Amino acid sequence: MIQNHKGYTLIELIVVVALIGIMYSFTMPRFQQAILSDDLQGVVRKFVGNIKALRSEAIREHKDFYLNFDLNSDEFWITEPGMSPEKSYQTRKDAYTLPDDVHIVEVSFPEEVDRIMGEVRIMISEKGYIQPAIIHLESDDDTEFSLILRPFLGKVEIIKDYVDYEDMQ
C-alpha cells in the first residue's frame, strides 16, 4: 500500500535551520563591517554630491562659492562672497556635522602646509574651477579616504587610502 504524505520531517527542518545558522555566522562579520564603515562612505558621498552641485550652481549663477570646513569640530558649510554677517553667521550655525565616528583629518593644498586644525575653505569659481586640494577623511576603525579636487575637471577623485601630493608625483 502506497501512502502519499506531504510535508517535512523534523530532521529535515533541523538540517535547514542549521545550514541557515552556519551561513549566517560566516556572513555576519562582513555585514557588520559594511554597516560600521557606512558612515564614512555616506560622508564621502555627501561631500562629492555637494561639490558637484556647488560647481554646477557656481556656473549657472555666475558666482563664486566657498566650501568651508571646521577641522576641530568636523563640520562643513557653504558660503559665498558678499554674504551679510547675519546670513554668514546663520550658515555657519547650520553647518553639517559629521557623524561621531568620522573625522576630517586634514585638508592639503599644493605647495602649502597641510591644515590639520581650525577653519579651512576651498573656493569654487564662477567658471566652475575648483581650488586644488585633498580632503582626508578617517573613521574610528582607521578606514581612510582621500578626496582629490582637481581644478579643471570638476570631478572629485576618491581614493580609499591616505594620499598626499607627494604620493601623486
C-alpha cell at 56: 554646477
Whether 28 is in a domain gets the answer no
Whether 17 is in a domain gets the answer no
Expressed as residue numbers, the domain containing 48 is 36-168
Average pLDDT, the chain: 86
pLDDT confidence of residue 23 = 86
Whether 104 is in a domain gets the answer yes
Which CATH number characterizes residue 126's domain?
A: 3.55.40.10
In angstroms, the CA 70 to CA 163 distance is: 21
**Based on the structure, what is the number of domains in the chain?**
1
In angstroms, the CA 38 to CA 61 distance is: 34
Whether 150 is in a domain gets the answer yes
Q: Express each pLDDT in 53-64 by its tens digit.
A: 999 999 999 999
Whether 5 is in a domain gets the answer no
Whether 7 is in a domain gets the answer no
pLDDT confidence of residue 113 = 81
Cβ within 8 Å of residue 130, ≥6 positions away: 51, 55, 122, 123, 124, 149, 150, 151, 154
pLDDT confidence of residue 163 = 86
State the residue for C-alpha cell 558612515. 39
What's the predicted TM-score (pTM) here? 0.74
Whether 90 is in a domain gets the answer yes
What is the β-pairing status of strands 119-124 and 65-70?
antiparallel
Q: Express each pLDDT in 76-117 by its tens digit.
A: 999 999 889 999 899 999 999 999 989 999 999 988 888 888
Whether 113 is in a domain gets the answer yes
